[in-house]
Structure 1
Amino acid sequence: MTNKQLKNSLSILTLLFSMCFLNAQTLKDIEIIGVVLDKNTKQPIESATILIADNKTLNPIHGSTTNSNGSFSLTTNATNFYIEVSFIGYKKSIFNKPKNTTKLIDLKTIYLEEDLESLSEVTIIAEKSTTEFRLDKRIFNVGSDLASSGSSALEVLNNVPSVNVDIEGQISLRGSQGVQILINGKPSVLASGDGNNALGTITAEMIEKIEVVTNPSAKYDAEGTSGILNIILKKDQKKGINGSVSVNIGDPSSQSFGLSINRRTENLNIFSQLGLGKRTFPRYTDGTNYNVINDELITNNSYNEMREKFYNFLLGSDFFLNENNVITLSVNYAYEKEDTPGTNNYSRFDENNNLTDQWQRTEFTLADNPKWGYELQYKKDFDNHEDHDLLFSAIGSSFSKDSESDFEDIVSLGSYTENGQEKNLTDYGRLEYTFKLDYTRPFSEKYTLETGAQYYIQDVFNDYEVQNFVTNSWVSDPNLTNVFEYNQNVLGLYATTSYEDEKWGLKLGARLENTDLKTLLETTNEKRNQNYSNLFPSVHTSYKISETLSLQAGYSKRINRPGLRELNPFSVRRDNFNISQGNPDLDPEFTDSYEITSIMKIGDVSLNLGVYHRYTTDVIEETITYMDDISTRMPLNIGTNNVSGIEFNGKYSPANWATFSADANFNFFKRKGEFEGTSFNFTGDLWSSKLNSQFKLPAGIEFEITGNYRSPYKGVIENRGEEIYADAGIRKKVFKGKVIINLSAQDVFASRKFISSTTQSNYILNRNSTRGRFITLGVSYGFGKGEAMEFSGQRRRF
């Protein structure tokens, strides 16, 4: 029995006990007592299950659990029953009712023996990553997949059906970006890092499951045109002290340590996690800028590596005021210290392909990134229904970045550029607050009403300065220096109503949101204020045709507000011939999303097939301008996009030692748009696939390999090349599963590359980037009732 099944069983037993207790006031009670111990260690077993069941029907009558010293006491008024004593990983003990029953049955000391075969089966079940379907979402339960051992949340997401994470760390859902990331159903500082920093301190071992909401109902924030990914973190529910410790080493050079401890009693649950370590992230890039007009070519090959030290600490507690009221408080602190050395080697060739200039641009960047997160949550459960509840949460977070980048240009041939020094200074800070109230009220087993409100506040400050070394002193460049302020407040109100019986379900909803956004470039006094309100309806339905076939359908309207990375006009000028910057004048995207999905189970094969369509207006696309051999990328709102696609997921276990799963997605898109008199009307397609194979080998060794492929595709300006790569892992359990040894490899063949090309009438750009192979060896140990690999402390990112 898994932990989840055990918890559900205890809930049912508790409910049955309450019902029986009301009827027992007029009947004769029999008290049953005893103590449960481990047969080998003679230590008490806390939370063992004591079950009283009917001898004829075998149905449960009453149940309880043992306390911290292994003892138990419960009463019953039944006349024909047996007693079962069990605990996960142990063999059951069954006692028949004594013939001459008195008011007291003393079972004395009960010794339970470990069931090694059963324990192994439970562990295997817990390790499989499985997908389950709900009315308006899919849930990907994260197991201890071998290739993800020691990985980051980004790499776990890359194993989730419908989700892709490219080599630049950009997350897409069904081939489209604009995905909203939530942590435990709410925005979080852990998922709001800038650029590649997002989700950096969350590891695979911290994640319990991921909810994939491709067509969100009105209950969810309307943000995210392609859907929502909700990452649910683990919070150990076993009583007593439980935990695990992990150590990882890897290549490129990395070391990390992780510790997870949980202490739970009847009225209090304290949970904490600690991670620390250091890691090196290399990147190799080759690029060309070709000027078609004068037939000149500039090539650049570069190498940089981010060497990072990180710390992550989480402390929280659940206070059970009573069985219906829980308060949760938590605080998270993460700190990253980065130093990034790098070199860009440039060469210039004339129209006759003669080398005329050569120079090198060196970089050394230092950055400190502290993050704080705070959360207060109150949940009230009402007695009349298990799903009748009220939930209030208040979340605050802060992120700051203090960085300095020093660049130096050294000319070795020609005079295309001059020797010089440049300094980029960034003082950045962000504060975010989210206040949310949700109320769920079932009116029967079939009808449910949900309503609530959310208020989101975001304040950002970015002081950016570029300095040049002139005449023995640093001089600020006024054309590249400014202060950017960004303030956004979003108020949302929603209501949904649903009907669901054994065969058919329907959910209707509407959400009203008001957005107030202000941006300011302080030095140049450039302001922009936006205030707009929008209604976001949603419809979801499901129908169970048979035990093996079900259908789901849904519609929702979504919004994608441009984020700070897209609005911020500044960027580090690492490669000063290929520059990216934001656009503070961007408008939001709006999307109408439709989908139909079938869920089939044929023997040992599970199949899911779906079709979908999205229509998006004011599409945010990255454009490129080219001047003086310098390309500058900036996002703009350009036209509309129609996307129609088909998606397939399948899983097959031909034997108990082999499991295969596949995920494939194909979509066809039609773009319409115009910018500065140039038409961007075109059509294209994109498909991606994954194949995962898991094998159980002799001597308790398990092996897994996952292959990934994404086809080339055409963008408004830029074309992207294909991506193909494989991840693999091998695992061995020792000491009855308490110690686990993992060896995993990301991008086994170092084949994953970011390839892009842009061809225009006056210029051609090409870029090829790779990060190489990552190998991690980890050992983890679980203590108390904890399991190994709860948290590795590993810090990974693209």
Structure 2
Amino acid sequence: MNSIKYLILFVLAAVAFPLSAQTTSITVTGKIVETISKEPVPFATVLIQDPQTNQNITGTTTDEDGSFTMQVAKSKFSVEVSFIGFETLTINEFSMSGDIADLGVVSLEKINTVLDEVELRAEKSSTEFKLDRRVFNVGKDLSSTGMGALELLNNVPSVSVSIEGDISLRGSSGVQILIDGKPSILADDPANSLSSITAEMIERIEVITNPSAKYDAEGTSGILNIVLKKDDKTGMNGSITLNTGIPDNHSVGFSLNRRTEKFNLFTQLGVGYRSLPRDSENSNQDLVNNTTVDSKGTSYRNENFYNIILGSDYYVNELNVITLSGNYAYEIEDQPSETDFNYFDSSGDLVSSWNRKETTEATNPKWQFDLQYKKEFEDSDDHVLLFSTQGRFFGKDQASEFEVTPIEGDLEFNDQQTETEFQQAEYIFKLDYTKPFTDRISMELGSQYFISDVGNDYTVRELIDGEWITDPNLTNNFEFDQKVFGIYGTFSHEGDVWGFKAGLRLENTTLKTFLEDTDEKNSQYYTDLFPSAHISYKLSDVTSFQLGYSSRIYRPRLWDLNPFFNIRNDFVIRKGNPYLEPEYTDSFELTSILVFEKFSLNAGVYYIYTTDVIERVTTFEDNVSITTPENVGTNQRIGFEANFKYSPINWFTLNGDFNYGYFKRVGDFEDQSFDFTGDQSTSRLTGKFKLPAQFELEIIGNHQSSFQNIQGEVSSVTFADLGLRKKISKGKLVLNLSVRDVFASRNREIMTYGDDFYVYSNSTRGRFVTLGLSYGFGKGEAMTYSGRRR
């Protein structure tokens, strides 16, 4: 801003010099504010003009508080005030006191047409296409009120989120989640943690199906990069948001931003309470003995949360910026559940029934810091050196009690207790350098070192003869240590018609796991090369094509490796596999983009080949199903996807997203063949309506087809969301109502088959209704804190 200001002064002084023959010096002062809000207008242009010739004599720009002072060597003059987005104002009459002309407080009127256009862009989500990614710009979509990032991802083209919170891209798991281009504690367990980022805090989501070598090679399906908003408006800006909902979803959010010439200070505070119910139904059938165990129950995750974010940008000068930010969150969890069990013999007669009641309490401290230094060079805005370091920690101190109450029959089960002490610390060090040689040719070089250190001390006790006895088969301390070092280089050329980007990344991985009590150790060391290539071709102003290739890896996550499991249901057990190997993927895609005045279409085909595929394999014994991740063969997937946007009239917009994939699985596990073929599709249709009296309505319909997995089938899901918004006080105050899963139809059924067993499970969350009220002051925007798990 200062450089622009000095440039304006220089030009104005050059113009004014021939006209400055007068010797009388008059001081002109005043303050420029907005007409309605009375907020100051910084950096507005103030010109002194000759009233007869309209030639500029001198000029200046207003300070951050809207005030200005300047000298003019002429007794007769007029004053012109202008700023982008405001009506230009000319002042011919003003009071003089000696050699001082005080204009007082001058009000500027906003230009309505410009404001409407800007508002439309800011509030509608849209998708744009870059050389190696698609960018989903997050607007103030109505149905997103109270949403966390996890639910918002369900609105992003090509992305699906299951009811359990599993994220897939083009129907495939193995997605790498980044926040501001970096891994995050919140993304390690997205089903439980990602919703601490709310829709109002997100600027855009980048869908990178074939990432360049600049990015981590992690994620065989690609990368979803969540970019958070960062207010760069000058002055004081902020917002206050209130949410309430059914089930319990009550929160207060506060954000504040203060930007000066040297500093940008920002903070966010959030506090609230929420409850997340879940109904589950399971049936385990032993096909050899013809016995069955059915269970049906409801579980809750009740949570008080407290969250604070503090940060600052320090502008050392025009070319150097240092950013330091930190986040601390604290959660207090209460997880009650109650499940009824029934055991049937081979004749279908009820043998025994019992009730299992769980009481779980936990505290979760989380913290994270980011330190970044950015060095720009004078020869180009894109010539940048960037160093960043990040540290983050997540802890969990959890205790559970399981009380069994017999209802009928003589089967006996002991009461149980569990204790968990979990600590996860991660550190990232990155150095990135971008050098443009011309306006079209550039190079990127960089390196990254990632450290992850985890400890999970897990204890299970059973009440035997009135005494709590530790179960050694279920008790252990699991340690996880992973280090990844990577270096990369890319070279790109982007012309008016052709563009390409090629790169190569090298990564070295060291992974160690250790079960302390049983002295079980596992170590993995591997070094891999990951090439990438992207080509774009602009056929016309309407049509463009993109061709992309990347090589990727999916390293087993902590919860894939951790052999401990939740004993909430003793007959349905999920646990990790510390000996799991990584997946490797080669991905190709060809995409076409057509953009017209009222209609845009993105359509493409892709081919993905994955080796050492990680699949959930279920085994069965004594009516207990145990699901464990295993490396099972290869997977080939050929698919087609299309996204469109159609705005036939100014009060209605229709968005659509469709993805279809045909896959071929080849593999075996423990002498059992898992060779089969299948297909899967997802579709989404969104209608947005502008109604009278500044009401807006949004309706979203979703459908996910059924599909076959290696041991069974997952049912189809169809559900709808809607949102309604009312603006008050010209948009400063906004009232939102959102209903997610309007018909309570979003349930997930999984049928698993084996030679000697059949397992059925059904899970549903139900309908969520949220009412939100947000108020923005200064030039800020409200940031809502959602009612989902943070």
Deviation string, structure 1 residues 63-85 (Cα, Å, up to 9, x no partner): 97521331347999xxxx99660
Q: Which residue of 1 aligns with 2:176?
A: 180
1:94 deviates by 6.1
| 1:197 to 2:192 alignment | yes
Q: The residue matched to 1:445 in structure 2 has which SS?
A: coil
Residue of structure 1 equivalent to 2:53: none
1:308 to 300, 303, 311: 303
CA deviation after TM superposition for structure 1 residue 384, in Å? 0.4
Match of 1:451?
445
CA distance in 2 between partners of 1:297 and 1:410 (Å): 20
Of 779, 782, 792, 2:784 maps to: 792
1:673 to 2:670 alignment:
no
Query: Structure 1 455/561 Cα, relative in aligned 2: closer, same or farther at 3 Å?
Result: same
Structure 1 counterpart of 2:403, from 405, 408, 425: 408
Q: Deviations over 1:578-606 (max 9, x none)?
A: 00000000000000011111110133101
343-352 or 252-261, which moves further after superposition? 343-352
Look up the match of 1:598: 592
Residue aligning to 1:5 = none
Shift of the 235–748 alpha-carbon distance from structure 1 to 2, 3 Å rule, reads same
Provide the rounded CA distance (Å) in 2 between the counterparts of 1:42 and 1:216.
45
- 1:500 is matched with 494
One-letter amino acid matched to 1:349: F
Question: In 2, distance between residues paired with 1:591 and 1:42?
Answer: 55
Is 1:346 aligned to 2:341, yes or no? Answer: yes
CA deviation map 1:648-679 (0-9, x unaligned): 00000111100000000001100000111111
1:485 and 2:479 matched: yes
Partner residue, 1:607: 601
Task: Give 1:785 deviation, angstroms.
Answer: 1.7
Q: What residue is the counterpart of 2:710 in the other structure? A: 716
Which residues of 2 match residues 99-118 of structure 1 at below 5 A?
110-116=106-112, 118=114
Alignment of 1:564-603 (within 5 A): 564-603=558-597
1:535 alignment partner, one of 526, 529, 540: 529
Asked if structure 2 preserves the Cα contact closer than 8 Å seen for 1:38 and 1:113, the reply is: no
Unmatched tracts of structure 2, length 5 or more: 21-25, 50-55, 73-77, 93-99
Q: Measured at CA, do residues 544 and 36 of structure 1 come closer, stay the same or move farther in structure 2, by a change above 3 Å?
A: farther
Pair 1:32–1:587, CA change in 2 (3 A): farther
Aligned to 1:609, the other structure's residue is in SS state strand
**Structure-1 residue corresponding to 2:274:** 279
Partners of 1:139 and 1:251 lie apart in 2 by: 32
Report deviation, 1:470. Answer: 1.3
| Cα-to-partner distance string for 1:363-416 (whole Å, 9 max, x where unaligned) | 11111111000110000110000100111100000001111111122211112x
Counterpart Cα distance in 2 of 1:16 and 1:621: 62
**Residues 363, 397 of structure 2: 8 Å contact kept:** yes
In structure 2, relative to structure 1, the CA distance for the partners of 1:602 and 1:123 (3 Å cut) is closer
Q: How do 1:320-719 and structure 2 match up within 5 A?
A: 320-415=315-410, 417-719=411-713
Matched, 1:152 2:152: no
Instruction: Give the match for residue 293 of structure 1.
Output: 288
Q: Please, what is the CA RMSD of the aligned residues?
A: 2.9
**Alignment deviations for residues 270-302 of structure 1 (CA, whole Å, 9 cap, x no partner):** 000001100010000111111111111221111
Task: Indicate the residue corresponding to 2:75 in structure 1.
Answer: none
Distance 1:612 1:534 in 2: 24
Give, in angstroms, the shift of residue 25 of structure 1. 11
> Aligned residue for 2:23?
none
Contact 1:48–1:66 (CA under 8 A) maintained in structure 2: yes
Q: How far, CA to CA, are the matches of 1:301 and 1:548 in structure 2?
A: 55
Structure 2 counterpart of 1:230: 225
Q: Is the 8 A contact 2:211 2:550 kept in 1?
A: yes
- 8 Å contact from structure 2 (residues 583, 612) kept in 1: yes
* Structure 2 Cα separation of the partners of residues 64 and 340 of structure 1: 62
Conserved 8 A contact 2:398-2:420: yes
**Structure 1 contact 359–409 (Cα < 8 Å) conserved:** yes
**Number of residue pairs matched?**
772
Give the alignment partner of residue 125 of structure 1, picking from 121, 127, 130.
121
2:369 & 2:60 partners in 1: Cα distance? Answer: 36
Deviation at 1:566, TM superposition (A): 0.3
Following the alignment from structure 1 to structure 2, what is the Cα–Cα distance between the partners of residues 487 and 539? 32
> Separation in 2 of the partners of 1:190 and 1:94?
53
Q: 2: distance between equivalents of 1:111 and 1:588? A: 64
> For the Cα contact (< 8 Å) 2:303–2:789, is it kept in 1?
no
Per the TM alignment, residue 169 of structure 1 is displaced from its structure 2 partner at its CA by 0.4
Matches within 5 A, 1:730-749: 730-749=724-743
Q: Is the 8 A contact 1:740 1:779 kept in 2?
A: yes
- The one of 240, 248, 256 aligned to 1:253: 248
Aligned residue among 206, 212, 215 for 2:210: 215
Question: Secondary structure at the residue paired with 2:230?
Answer: coil
**Change in 2 beyond 3 A, CA 1:12/1:300:** farther
2:64 partner letter: S
Are 1:719 and 1:757, in contact at CA under 8 Å, matched by a contact in 2? yes
SS of residue in 2 equivalent to 1:699: helix
| AA aligned opposite 2:133 | K
Q: Partner of 2:62 in structure 1?
A: 66
Counterpart residue type for residue 485 of structure 1: E
2:39–2:778 Cα contact (<8 Å) kept: no
- Cα deviation, 1:478-507, whole Å, max 9, x if unaligned, reads 111111000000000000010111111110
Residues 13 and 64, structure 1, Cα contact 8 Å, conserved in 2: no
Q: Deviations over 1:2-39 (max 9, x none)?
A: xxxxxxxx799679759969x95997597997645336
- Give the letter aligned to residue 367 of structure 1: A
Q: Mean alpha-carbon deviation: is it higher for 477-486 or for 778-787?
A: 778-787
State how far apart, in whole Å, the 1-side matches of 2:429 and 2:621 are.
Answer: 47
Q: Which letter does structure 2 place at the counterpart of 1:126?
A: A
Native 8 Å contact 1:287 1:300 kept in 2: yes
Once the two structures are superposed, residues 449-477 of structure 1 have per-residue CA deviations (whole angstroms, 9 ceiling, x without a partner) of 10000000000000111100112221100
Q: Which amino acid aligns with 1:111?
A: S
CA contact (8 A) 1:189 1:372 kept: no
Could you say which residue in structure 1 is the equivalent of 2:165? 169
The 5-angstrom pairing of residues 751-762 of structure 1 reads: 751-762=745-756
Work out whether residues 739 and 780 of structure 1, in 8 Å CA contact, stay in contact via their aligned partners in 2. yes
Quickly say closer, same or farther: Cα 1:434–1:157, change in 2 above 3 A: same
Structure 1, residues 429-456: CA drift from partner, whole Å, max 9, x if none? 0000000000000011011010000000
Alignment partners' CA distance in 1, 2:47 and 2:398: 65
- Distance in 2 separating the partners of 1:95 and 1:228: 55
Matched residue, 1:726: 720
Task: Give yes or no for contact 1:494–1:509 (8 Å, CA) kept in 2.
Answer: yes
Q: CA deviation at 1:175?
A: 0.8
Amino acid at match of 1:794: S
Task: State the AA in 2 paired with 1:290.
Answer: Q
Secondary structure of 1:46's match? coil
CA distance, structure 2, for counterparts of residue 713 and residue 270 of structure 1: 49
Match in the other structure for 1:750: 744
Q: What CA distance in whole angstroms lies between the structure 1 residues aligned with 2:34 and 2:230? A: 29
**What SS does the corresponding residue of 1:566 show, helix, strand or coil?**
helix
Structure 1's unaligned 5+ residue stretches are 1-9, 55-59, 97-103
